[in-house]
């Protein structure tokens, strides 16, 4: 019973490098989202998707891209990493096509950008 799986758990990047954080869920959830969590800032919504082929921006989308080609996967791409993107990233999903359902979170990715 995997739930929401995020990889990698830890990552160190140099400024300017690109990478993709992977997120997969096996619960056939329509809604998926990415958050970042910084001390004193709480979780902030980066991007979200209400179904395959549909994505939209959250509170802090700049510097990140997403796509949703399948129901299961919702990767987050950092185009050119910056130190300000050092954070803990959480992927979350829920059953419904909107945000009114219980969110299931992955275990997080700790990203450091040097």
Contact residues toward other proteins (CB under 8 A) are 31, 33, 35, 40-45, 48, 50, 56, 58-59, 90, 98-100, 102-103, 105-108
Closest CB 15 distance from other proteins, rounded Å:
25
HSE-CB for 48 with a 13 A CA cutoff: 20
Of 31 and 81, which has the nearer Cβ to other proteins? 31
Could you tell me whether strands 31-38 and 10-13 are parallel, antiparallel, or unpaired per DSSP bridges?
unpaired
Question: And the tokens for 10?
Answer: 């830890």
Closest CB 57 distance from other proteins, rounded Å:
10
Between CA 85 and CA 17 the distance in angstroms is 12
Of 14 and 100, which has the nearer Cβ to other proteins? 100
């Amino acid at each position: 019973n995997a739930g929401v799986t995020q990889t990698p758990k830890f990552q160190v990047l140099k400024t300017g490098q690109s990478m993709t954080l992977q997120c997969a869920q096996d619960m056939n959830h329509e809604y998926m989202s990415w958050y970042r969590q910084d001390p004193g800032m709480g979780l902030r919504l980066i991007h979200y998707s209400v179904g395959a082929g549909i994505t939209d921006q959250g509170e802090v989308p700049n510097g990140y891209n997403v796509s949703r080609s399948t129901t299961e996967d919702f990767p987050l791409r950092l185009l050119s990493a910056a130190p300000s993107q050092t954070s803990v990233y959480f992927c979350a999903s829920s059953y419904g096509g909107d945000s009114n359902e219980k969110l299931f979170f992955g275990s997080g990715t700790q990203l450091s950008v040097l």
